[in-house]
Structure 1
């Protein structure tokens, strides 16, 4: 595979602490697109859901999360996938403050919106709460770029919220063999 949108990072520029030693690190050539998407999401969350204070999320002074995780992302997609990723991180933080019933209800509401998006190609925002407004924005921007993959993304989010999204955070797994399948889904296997 030829690399078009990323650059190889010199191993002397970062510390692996022994983890992933010898695996090359690439970074998107336009990380500012991630900055824009991430900061826009944080501002929308603060305005529509809950005020954020001293929150960095996926941003880093040098190594932003999405720019290094998806270094060959098409440039026109990097901003919206960064927005969506930040939304997922913010929702995860929100979920940690919910009890089981609140979280299940919130996951169901989120799942319903993403399902609507996967079927209709849009998410209605009449009398919508802030999270639903953000979901609608994510879908709208993704649909403008690539309808097929936008719908696939919505379907994946529906499946994620059905089985994960913290739904079993209160469960005490007896073995690692029980825990690993759940955790692989909960970190976004879908």
Structure 2
């Protein structure tokens, strides 16, 4: 890999921040012009309310359980103005049903905290690869192996990539043509990672 990356940090483990948030207030679905919604706790009621919040530009949701994911992703797909998205799994939960993820076309920054369901990673990263505005990706606790990491390399427009406790392999290999626009790469907490090439 040539020196597109100007910052590379392989450091000690980070402490996981527990999934925290606040319950959605009653009547939130009536706020149809809302543009920013941060740290809402996932619940069946919250996921249903999302269908009306199509003007959101920034959305961050916490305590997401596997049973929420499919409907959550469908709701996110209706947020066509969304530029920043953060999804934090509930403690010891997996972000599943990634096949249902409908990538908002203007998405610029994506934060995913939690293990990612392996069987649908190809579809998920293929959907992300079509986003020309996606410049920033942070994965925390994703448990990617080398095969799963290969799918990340299709994200050609990334400028900043952060992998925190996200990689479970022992070697990361970056072919010369991968991540052509990447400027910052941060890797922390790879317990088995011995080599980056």
After TM superposition, the score normalised by the length of structure 1 is: 0.25
Rg comparison, structure with higher value: 1
After TM superposition, the score normalised by the length of structure 2 is: 0.24
